[in-house]
Amino acid sequence: MKTKVLAVITAAVIMLSFSVTAHAEGAAIEIGAPSAILIEKSTGQVLYEKNADERLRPASVTKIMTILLIMEEIESGRLKYTDIVTASANATSMGGSQVYLKENEQMTVDEMLKCIVVASANDACVAMAEHIAGSVEAFVSRMNEKAASLGMNSTTFINCTGLEAEGHLTTARDISVMSRELLKHNDIKKYTTIWMDSIRGGQFGLTNTNKLIRFYDKATGLKTGFTKESMYCISATAESDGMELIAVIMKSPSSDERNADARALLNYGFANYAIYNADTQQLSPIKVIKGKKDSVTPIMNGITSLVVAKGTEQNIKCEISVCDDLLAPVEQGQKLGEAKLTLDGNVLASSDITAESAVEKAGIFDIFSELVHYFLIV
C-alpha cells in the first residue's frame, strides 16, 4: 500500500474531537444567574459554562423533552399534525400555565403543539402525553429513556409539564443537549418562532412566553420556565451568519435578568465565534487490486463543522493523506488515511478516512468473466 498527500486545504472545516475554550481571548462576560451554558448547535461545542452540572428544577423548560417526543412521533409517521386529540379530565385539572381545555374538548396535534410551545400549556402537555403513550406515567418513562439515550445523566423527569415535583431535576448542560436534539426537527421552528397566535377559531389568544422572540432579532426559540422553587429558566436559541447557538439560564431571580443573561450569552457567542461548514469536495476513488470492484470511495468520518474564534479562519489548514492503491479484500470502514486540521501549526482535530463500502476479493470466476468481457469489447 502506498501513501500520498493529496492536498492542504486552506480554511477547511473538520469538527471531530476539537473543543473550543470557554472564553475567547480578550473577551469577558458576566452572567448573574447561578447556572448557565452556551453551546453551538451543529457541533455541540461548549463556548461558555457556569456551574453547568448543578442539578436544579427546570420548571417548564421540561417541555422541551415533551415536545421532542411529540416531534419524533410525527416524523416516524405514528402521529400526524391533523390527528385529533381529546382532553381527559386529568388533562384539564393541571393548573398553572394552560389554555383551559374542557373535558372531551378536541384539538388537532398542530393546535396542541402550538399551545405547548407558545403558551406553555400544561393541560395540552398532558393531553398529548396520554394520546401518545396511553398515560402520563408511560410517557414520562419514555422521557427518561430518551434522556438516558442522549447521555443526560443528571436528569430525572417526574412529569411532562415541569410542575413542581420532588426529584424533578436536571442541569443546564442536559437542557442544552435536549434542546440541540429538538432543533434537529426543523418543523419545530414553525412553532417556536410564533410571537402571537390564537386557537378556537380566534377566540383564545396565545402569546409566546419567550419574549426574546419579539425583542431579539436573531431568536429562533426555544422554551421558558418559572415556578417559585425553580425561579426563572430559559433555553434560548438564536441564529446568525449560519451559526445557531443555544443559551441555557437557570434559577435567575427575575424574567428580565434571565432574558438579559440569555441575550448576553448569545451576543457573546456571535461576537467571538464563527462556524465554517465542511468542504464538500469529494476524495477521488482509490484503486483496488484483485477485487470484485476496481475502486473504493474514501470518506472522512465525523466531518460536520468547526467553531473557531473569529479572525482565525484564514490560518486554518487541513492536510489529507490517503493510500493510492489497496489489495482486496477491503472492509467497510477500513482506515485508508487521515485528515488533520491545524491552526498555526497546532492540530485542532483529526479524522480517519475510511472505505465507504466493502470490496470482496475476486475469485477465479470473477477474473474469467472480466477477461471475457475485455476480449468481447476489444
Cis? peptide before 222, omega within 30° of 0: yes
SS3 assignment, position 174: helix
Radius of gyration, alpha carbons of the chain: 26
Cβ-Cβ contacts under 8 Å for 341 (sequence gap 6 or more): 12, 13, 14, 18, 306, 316, 317, 318, 347, 348, 349, 350
**pLDDT on residue 134:** 98
Q: Where are the alpha helices (DSSP H) in the chain?
A: 63-76, 89-92, 109-119, 122-133, 136-149, 172-182, 189-192, 212-215, 255-272, 364-377
Q: What are phi and psi of 218, to 5 degrees?
A: -95, -5
Q: Where are the domains of the chain?
A: 3-16+279-377, 35-274
User: In whole angstroms, what is the distance from residue 98 CA to residue 115 CA?
Assistant: 8
Name the band, by pLDDT with cuts 50, 70 and 90, for residue 284: confident
The set of catalytic residues is 60, 63, 120
Cis? peptide before 329, omega within 30° of 0: yes
Q: Domain 3-16+279-377 has what CATH class?
A: mainly beta
Comparing 1-15, 87-101, 115-129, 233-247, the range with the smallest average pLDDT is 1-15
User: In whole angstroms, what is the distance from residue 307 CA to residue 239 CA?
Assistant: 14
Name the band, by pLDDT with cuts 50, 70 and 90, for residue 368: low
pLDDT value at 4 more than 80 = no
Amino acid at 347: V
The domain over range 35-274 is classified in CATH as 3.40.50.300? no
Q: What are phi and psi of 286, to 5 degrees?
A: -105, 135
Name the band, by pLDDT with cuts 50, 70 and 90, for residue 362: confident
Residue 317 CB neighbour total at 10 angstroms: 18
Cβ-Cβ contacts under 8 Å for 175 (sequence gap 6 or more): 37, 58, 61, 64, 235, 248, 250
Name the band, by pLDDT with cuts 50, 70 and 90, for residue 352: confident
Tell me the angle at which helices 172-182 and 136-149 cross, rounded to the nearest 10 degrees: 100
User: In whole angstroms, what is the distance from residue 40 CA to residue 38 CA?
Assistant: 7
pLDDT value at 23 more than 60 = no
Percent share of the chain, pLDDT over 70: 86
User: In whole angstroms, what is the distance from residue 122 CA to residue 106 CA?
Assistant: 15
Q: Which residue has the higher pLDDT, 205 or 340?
A: 205
Stretch 106-133: mean pLDDT, rounded?
98
SS3 assignment, position 45: coil
> Which residue in 21, 143, 157, 158 sits closest to 73, CA to CA?
143
Distances (CA, A) of 311 to 29, 162, 173, 245: 19, 42, 28, 19
Mean pLDDT of the residues in the chain: 88
Task: Tell me the per-residue pLDDT of 154-193, one tens digit each, with 9 for 90 and over.
Answer: 999 999 999 999 999 999 999 999 999 999 999 999 999 9
Name the band, by pLDDT with cuts 50, 70 and 90, for residue 351: confident
> Which residue in 215, 245, 223 sits closest to 120, CA to CA?
223
Name the band, by pLDDT with cuts 50, 70 and 90, for residue 283: confident
Name the band, by pLDDT with cuts 50, 70 and 90, for residue 304: low
DSSP state of 160: S
